Structure 1
């Protein structure tokens, strides 16, 4: 399946396993994950990114992303386990 078959250009969201997913959800999750790698854990930017990661992860878990992909960044993996 190609991306445009799942979510055509004229459509901004899709429902998977009863969960509405907006275009860009997985990309935003990945960018937030990459962002926290180089940030001071006490910074507001780090805390905001981690908050976004946890919120996005709940959605991505519901569609089964973590059944096929493992989070390798230890602090993110730990945060997801504890949330």
Structure 2
């Protein structure tokens, strides 16, 4: 299967697991993760990147990205896992 089989060039949004997901969501998450992890990023840049990453998480879950891929950076993985736990209402 190729990308255009999932989302043709002329379509920018698709429905996955009942959620409207925009083309580019995964790439945007990766770009924001890189900003968040870059030593040269300012605290403000990291905060904006973190907010954007958190907003993308429901879409990434809907398409199964987090079921297949593991975030390599342990600190970022912990941040994402803690956010997902808190947003699911399963805080301990």
Q: Over residues 40-79 of structure 1, what are the superposed CA-to-partner deviations in whole Å (9 max), with x where a residue is unaligned?
A: 6861001110111111112211221111100111222111
Contact residue 13 and residue 23 of structure 1 kept, 8 A: yes
Structure 1: unaligned runs, 5 residues or longer: none
Q: Which residue of 2 aligns with 1:38?
A: 38
Note the C-alpha offset of 1:21. 0.9
Q: Which runs of 4+ in 1 moved over 3 A?
A: 39-42
Contact residue 39 and residue 45 of structure 1 kept, 8 A: no
Compute the RMSD of aligned alpha carbons: 1.7
Aligned residues: 83
Q: Which residue of 2 aligns with 1:64?
A: 64
What TM-score do the two structures reach when normalised by structure 1? 0.87
Relative to structure 1, is the Cα distance of residues 40 and 74 closer, same or farther in structure 2, using a 3 angstrom cutoff?
Answer: farther
Q: Over residues 18-54 of structure 1, what are the superposed CA-to-partner deviations in whole Å (9 max), with x where a residue is unaligned?
A: 1211010011001111111114686100111011111
Structure 2: unaligned runs, 5 residues or longer: 84-92
